[in-house]
Amino acid sequence: MQSAQQLINGLMLGGILAFVAVAFTLTIGMLNFLNFTIPALFMLAAMVTWALSASGEHIFALGLPWYAAAAIGIAVAMVASLIIERFTYRYLKAHYGDATEHALPLVSSLGFLIIFEHAVITLWGSDPQRLELPFRDMDLHFAGLIVGIPHLFSLGLAITLVWVLSWLLKRSSIGRALRAIAENPDAATLMGVEVARIVPVVFLVTGMLSALAGILYGFSYSTVTPYIGDAVATDAITGMVLGGLGNVWGAIVGGLLVGLIKVFAISQFGAEIEKIPVWGLLLLILIIRPTGIFGKSRLGRGKF
Amino acid sequence: MLLRIEQLDVLYGRNHAVKAMSLDLDAGEIVTVLGANGAGKSSLLKAIQGTVPLARGRVLFKGANISRWSAARRVGNGLVMVPEGRQIFIGMTVHENLLLGAYTRRDDTAAEIDAIYERFPNLAQRRDLPASVLSGGEQQMLAVARALVARPAVMMLDEPSLGLSPILVKQLFELIVDLNRSGLAILLVEQNTNMALAVAHRGYVLELGRTVMQGTPAELSSDEQLAAAYLGQA
């Protein structure tokens, strides 16, 4: 019974990691860009949702209903993601040629991560804050097991969104244009694809996914801090690598696996060493199968 | 004049790839640009397409100055390129490649794509297979077919015969003539000088970025220096 509960807990945590892993894998697969601002957007959306919905003395304490606060949190993260696109990916590409081949956008995205974290700390301090939904009982009970509703909702939403995303990538004109950019940006231009106008779409989608994940994380664990992005980033990156870079369904499976490994490791060996199995697994995968479980032969490009 | 290039310069850093190039392409014409490796032929096409910037000069298309248009906008207006090395999307199916060719089209292209399949039965058979399974000749056909779906007024081809067997080269040039007869203006960059002059109405010869000669195929082939340098005839 105990391990059944842990299986559920692992899958629930994994559902949120899967969201973030999908955001990572989209920018890697499309743009060959490891975007470290994803955890910052995750945290930003959760903190904005808390600040707007809570009442108190802090800035922007508007006491908005949770859904309005969450909608604004998502919008803020999407706008921030567009700003990031403008000043990491696009600026560096325009000034230094194919910057995706270099570490420049990665390093500048790390810079954004730290700036966002500290901007949030300056605004609202670094204390953990309570973020709760107004419903009374947030858990489903059956056969002695407990399933959190926000957890369940985030897992379902992650799978639905990835299903919609992969359908759009396969069937729609903009999806084909995105895959063309992922495979060969120069040839995509020759098809009449305005690459500079399509790339921000990737950032809007990753901003939305990261924000949804952050808010669902906050509601699931009832707590947000300016540091939740850091914690989730490494787990989600491990999930992405497990599933194969650029593979959206792989990212879902990878995220779920990492969630399970974390929960079982903590229950078996205690919370102190939870990072070791996750990072150990990441290193092991990189050594024995760097394309991940579902990745194809080439790393990082054109996997849809 | 359908396409007019005026005093065009292309610079890559200090490398002056194209110098004061002027060129005309009229409706219904095949014009070829000849020259050795590094003469600036590909740079010229890329500058016309808008994928490399102009240092000086103008590109006029259907009477409009398109020098500042994005490459994608030029495609949407009917200036379409079949790039060197085909550049087809090998991770996508044959059909998806054709749909990408129709990317700028807002009208229904299904009937045109069907007509393409009728013209290229090999592509029709492999419609839903990844383009990576195509042979070199089929890939070149797909690259041309994909450009056709964009409904071009001018098609630019960069070294289309590269890497093809003599039989396939012959088929390709028959296709080029055929397309031209149905009204398509063609700007052809080729190293296969004999084949290019056999189909072209006029030609330009580039040397180190500069036009050293222009004229009809007969005029160009009768020039002894040119024949020695580019036509493989001593």
Q: Tell me the CATH number at B27.
A: 3.40.50.300
Contact: B150, A194; criterion CB under 8 Å: no
d(CA B155, CA B11): 24
pLDDT digits (tens, 9 = 90+) for A158-189: 889 989 998 998 899 999 999 998 889 899 99
**Percent of chain A residues topping a pLDDT of 70:** 91
pLDDT of residue A137: 66
β-pairing, B202-207 vs A145-148, is: unpaired
Above 0.85 for ipTM, yes or no? yes
pLDDT of residue A301: 45
pLDDT of residue A144: 81
pLDDT of residue A245: 85
pLDDT of residue B173: 96
In the predicted structure, residue A90 carries a pLDDT above the cut 80 = no
d(CA B19, CA B55): 10
pLDDT of residue B231: 58
In the predicted structure, residue A65 carries a pLDDT above the cut 80 = yes
Neighbours of B152 (CB within 10 A): 21
Q: Which of A54-68, A256-270, B82-96 has the highest mean pLDDT?
A: B82-96
d(CA B190, CA B35): 8
Min mean pLDDT across A41-50, A92-101, A102-111, B111-120 is at A92-101
Contact: A176, B92; criterion CB under 8 Å: yes
In the predicted structure, residue B54 carries a pLDDT above the cut 90 = yes
In angstroms, the separation between the Cα of residue A298 and the nearest Cα of chain B is 11
Selecting from B75, B83, B89 the residue whose C-beta is nearest the C-beta of A183 gives B89
pLDDT of residue A278: 85
In this structure, chain A runs to a length of: 304
Averaged confidence pLDDT in chain A? 86
Confidence of residue A72 (pLDDT cuts 50, 70, 90): very high
In angstroms, the separation between the Cα of residue B98 and the nearest Cα of chain A is 10
In angstroms, the separation between the Cα of residue A180 and the nearest Cα of chain B is 7
Contact: B103, A177; criterion CB under 8 Å: yes
* B46-50: average pLDDT: 96
Assigned domain for B110 exists: no
Confidence of residue B60 (pLDDT cuts 50, 70, 90): very high
pLDDT of residue A304: 42
Residues in chain B closer than 8 A to A184 (CB atoms):
87, 89
Contact: B87, A190; criterion CB under 8 Å: yes
In the predicted structure, residue A2 carries a pLDDT above the cut 80 = no
Averaged confidence pLDDT in chain B? 93
Query: In chain A, where are the structural domains located?
Result: 2-288
Between B60 and A154, the more confident residue is B60
In the predicted structure, residue A67 carries a pLDDT above the cut 90 = yes
Confidence of residue A1 (pLDDT cuts 50, 70, 90): low
Domain count, chain B: 1
Q: What is the residue whose two structure tokens read 């500079």? A: A196
Min mean pLDDT across A102-106, B17-21, B153-157, B175-179 is at A102-106
Under a CB-based contact definition with an 8 Å cutoff, are residues A255 and A10 in contact? no
Task: Quote the pTM value.
Answer: 0.86
d(CA A64, CA A48): 11
Q: Which fold has domain A2-288?
A: ABC transporter involved in vitamin B12 uptake, BtuC (1.10.3470)
What residue of B is the nearest CA neighbor of A173? B103
Interface test with A, best of B69, B87, B104 (most A CBs within 10 A): B87
* B178-201: average pLDDT: 94
* A188-194: average pLDDT: 95
Backbone angles phi, psi at B130, to 5 degrees: -60, 145
* B189-217: average pLDDT: 93
Assigned domain for B139 exists: no
End-to-end CA separation in angstroms for chain B: 36
In one letter, which amino acid is B80? V
Under a CB-based contact definition with an 8 Å cutoff, are residues B131 and B139 in contact? yes
In the predicted structure, residue B126 carries a pLDDT above the cut 90 = yes
* A223-243: average pLDDT: 91
Between A107 and A236, the more confident residue is A236
Within 8 A by CB and 6+ apart from A27, the residues are: A33, A34, A35, A38, A202, A203, A206
Q: Give residue B160's domain range.
A: 3-90+152-230
pLDDT of residue B96: 96
**Percent of chain A residues topping a pLDDT of 90:** 42
pLDDT of residue A298: 46
Between A150 and B6, the more confident residue is B6
Backbone φ/ψ region at A110: left (φ over 0), alpha (ψ -120 to 50), beta: alpha
Min mean pLDDT across A110-114, A141-145, A161-165 is at A141-145
pLDDT of residue A162: 86
Rounded to the nearest angstrom, the gap between the alpha carbon of residue B43 and the centroid of all alpha carbons in its chain is 12
Assigned domain for B123 exists: no
Neighbours of A7 (CB within 10 A): 14
The Cα-based distances of B143 to A85, A159, A187, B79, B121 in angstroms read 32, 37, 10, 15, 15
Assigned domain for B104 exists: no
Contact: A302, B91; criterion CB under 8 Å: yes
Residues in chain A closer than 8 A to B103 (CB atoms):
173, 176-177, 191-193
* A12-34: average pLDDT: 89
pLDDT of residue A210: 96
Min mean pLDDT across A4-13, A21-30, A70-79, A287-296 is at A287-296
